[in-house]
A and B are shown apart, each in its own frame.
Chain A
């Protein structure tokens, strides 16, 4: 188990270093150079030269990369936003917890709904309810988050006035617990596709378990259908869901970007979109790096849970 965690954490670290390399390369690809990105498009050549010398941008690329890595790890230096006129780390500040809480809540709710839904489909397999849930998940699968969010706003916010479009702009990150009404529509938007894919997966995963030899053995020994389903099949079917969760995290975080944009919720996604409009490339690269690290760590956690739940992995290494 310890061996597994160390090996897996090592892989995660390699991925994070790789992402740092990619953001570094992207920063080098900015037309006109990084100086323009920080000083703005109207910077004079003199200012650009001065900026380059001050920030070591006239050094060889290799030295620049080490300074970049050192800055990130030693000082959490993610660059400078010319638009907000402060460090990217300060700009990200409170927006990161907002996105993390949004994604976390959505994942928990998705699991709570998708797992019983998958079980229900297995219990009632090939009955109307199974077909109904299957059709619904295909529909939500094809439904892009921005369209679903837009329709929810039109129907439930403008027409029916059941829910506000979004929480107040200055609400703290914890508003998701204190003012849950404002988060109903964003959470539905973000969770719909996750629920659709997870319940599909849960259904097929449990169906697979029901054809395994051990299920037949349990039945032969006289276990009731109920016990076979919940005592044996469910426990084994739950494990791969954790892997799926780890693999789906990047997609869910992408969904959060869309959700934040549709509902105007000031998290990492909306910040990235706004900065893209401002040509504030340092912020875009900073949020990309930070959100990727958060995603990689989340996937790592899911894998550790997976190992803890599955003795074949826990004891195998």
Chain B
């Protein structure tokens, strides 16, 4: 009920007029409790003191209440363990092509020896899922990190300098964003050729544009705040204002973006891998594994397709759910500003 609606109700209904308005509109003064209310301690801004803990605790409560997000986090942790700890518990050969062909047969269906069967080169599929997952997760995390850091600095600079510099910097972003991302990605991969490190940089290069826009918008709104102006008056340098005040205050937006970006980076790498431009052999990633599986799809080797596909979809969904929940809990904080 908004205050306005409450006013209407008050006109028509005496009983309701006596009940206090909903919380969140400053100190409520009702006849009986007026004295007690006034003596209660007030926060620095004169609002009511919150009893439900720090902002951080409230944010984490909203996050934990979101069941899907908790499932997402748990799934991501399990996946990381599966890919990075798994190979130590379940040791398989994933690099020696000759040995793979000697020791086991190619395209074997799941059995007690190979729980998820083998691929066309004779590699164990379960072990390969872990091995390829390492590359997919590392590239996903790393490129999202690089993209977020670069985009944040770029956007904060554009928003803080404003004027001509801002227009020029943001036109560059507009131009790059208008190029369909896979075409740009393929052009870059063709020029610079694939390696794990270059793939991280190339995926980051097509992904830093959105955080640049987000942080610029955030900076524009922060720049006008009193405390930033106060720092300026006190002689704080631009670098100090951007580094110590503007970026830390946009950190919520940045973290939410980074979470979604990990999902997107994993998908971009998978798409490149599927096309055949993923990490070079003998390394592999989930997209490359899927594309290898597709070549024998007509033969009905389902174990070469479904587990890999499921891994990609579930990891992407998990990161998206976590991102959603982070955004929701960020809104809790924003509401309290």
Partner of A261, one of B187, B188, B275: B275
Contact indicator per residue, chain B 191-231, by CB within 8 Å of chain A (1) or not (0): 11000000000000000000000000000000000000000
The residue that A146 contacts in the complex, of B174, B274, B316, B320, with Cβ under 8 A, is B274
**CB-nearest residue of chain A to B181:** A254
Which one of B32-40, B251-259, B290-298 contacts A? B290-298
Determine whether A313 belongs to the interface, using a CB cutoff of 8 Å to chain B.
no
Please, which residues of chain A bring their CB within 8 A of the CB of B189?
276
Which of B7-15, B157-165, B305-313 lies at the binding interface? B305-313
Verify if B142 is at the interface (C-beta below 8 Å from A): no
Q: Does A146 lie within 8 Å of B175, measured CB to CB?
A: no
Stretch at the interface among A148-156, A175-183, A217-225: A148-156
A interface, size bucket: 35 or more
Q: Are A146 and B187 neighbours in the complex by a CB distance under 8 Å?
A: no
B183 interface residue per 8 A CB criterion: yes
Are the CB atoms of A138 and B179 closer together than 8 Å?
no
Contact residues in A for B171 (Cβ distance below 8 Å): 14, 18
A22→B191 contact, CB < 8 A: no
In order of increasing CB-CB distance, the 5 nearest A-B pairs are A18-B175, A253-B180, A254-B182, A142-B317, A146-B274
Judge if A97 is at the interface, Cβ distance under 8 Å.
Answer: no
- Bound together, the chains give a CA A276 to CA B194 distance in angstroms of 11
Is there an interface contact between A144 and B177, defined as CB atoms closer than 8 Å?
no
Chain A residues whose C-beta falls within 8 Å of the C-beta of B180 in the assembled complex: 250-251, 253-254, 257, 288, 291-292, 295
List residues of chain B with CB within 8 A of the CB of A287: 183
State whether B275 touches A147 (Cβ < 8 A): no
The chain B residue with its CB closest to the CB of A147 is B309
Q: Nearest A residue to B270 by beta-carbon distance?
A: A144
* Interface membership of chain A positions 16-30, coded 1 if the CB is closer than 8 angstroms to chain B and 0 otherwise: 001101110010011
Judged by a CB distance under 8 angstroms, whether B271 is at the interface is: yes
The contact of B305 among A154, A272, A273, by CB within 8 Å, is: A154
* Residue B176 at the chain A interface, CB threshold 8 Å: yes
Chain A interface residues (CB < 8 Å from chain B): 14-15, 18-19, 21-23, 26, 29-31, 138, 141-147, 150-151, 153-154, 158, 250-251, 253-254, 257-258, 261-262, 269, 272-273, 275-277, 279, 281, 284-285, 287-288, 291-292, 295-296, 299
Interface CB pairs A-B, < 8 A, 26: A14-B175, A18-B172, A19-B178, A26-B188, A31-B191, A144-B313, A144-B316, A145-B271, A146-B290, A147-B290, A150-B297, A250-B178, A250-B181, A254-B181, A254-B182, A257-B180, A261-B275, A273-B186, A273-B277, A276-B277, A281-B190, A287-B183, A288-B179, A291-B180, A295-B178, A295-B179
Q: How far is the CB of A278 from chain B (nearest CB, A)?
A: 9
Contacts of B271 on A, CB cut-off 8 Å? 144-146, 258
Contact B274 A291 (CB under 8 A): no
User: Which partner residue on chain B sits nearest A275 by CB separation?
Assistant: B190
Task: Write the B264-283 contact mask toward A (1 if CB under 8 angstroms, else 0).
Answer: 00010011001111000000
With a CB–CB cut-off of 8 A, which chain B residues contact A284?
A: 183, 186-187, 190
A202 to chain B, nearest CB (A): 19
Q: Are A276 and B186 in contact (CB under 8 A)?
A: yes
Residues from chain B with a CB closer than 8 A to the CB of A138 are: 317, 320
- Report how far A185 CA is from B128 CA in the complex, Å: 30
Specify which of A150, A153, A277 is in contact with B276 (CB 8 Å cutoff): A277
